[in-house]
């Protein structure tokens, strides 16, 4: 993983902590399987990702598979055109 991708992953971690109002979380967990995000969290996450990385996430890409982990969210950001 490149330094830019590590930085992006750290930014995603920060966004998740802000949305959930927590300081730490298990990055290995499956967010969907563990009901980590509710629908409001997902809406806030997508908006924060779009703002932070200056991308537009296609609504068709907002799927459980793309939101299941930090790595899958990183892939979603990358696939949405972020320069990371």
Angle of the 3-20 helix axis to the 39-53 helix axis, nearest 10: 140
Q: How far apart are CA 70 and CA 66, in angstroms?
A: 9
What CA–CA distances, in Å, run from 14 to 19, 21, 58, 59, 60? 9, 10, 22, 23, 25
* Tokens 């997508």 -> residue: 46
Which residues are tagged catalytic?
Answer: 38
């Amino acid at each position: 993983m490149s330094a830019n991708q590590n930085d992006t992953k750290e930014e995603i971690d920060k966004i998740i902590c802000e949305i959930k109002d927590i300081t730490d979380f298990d990055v290995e967990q499956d967010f969907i399987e563990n009901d980590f995000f509710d629908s409001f969290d997902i809406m806030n996450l997508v908006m924060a990702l779009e703002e932070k990385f200056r991308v537009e996430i296609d609504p068709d890409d907002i799927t459980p598979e793309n939101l299941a982990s930090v790595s899958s969210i990183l892939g979603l950001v990358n696939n949405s055109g972020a320069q990371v």
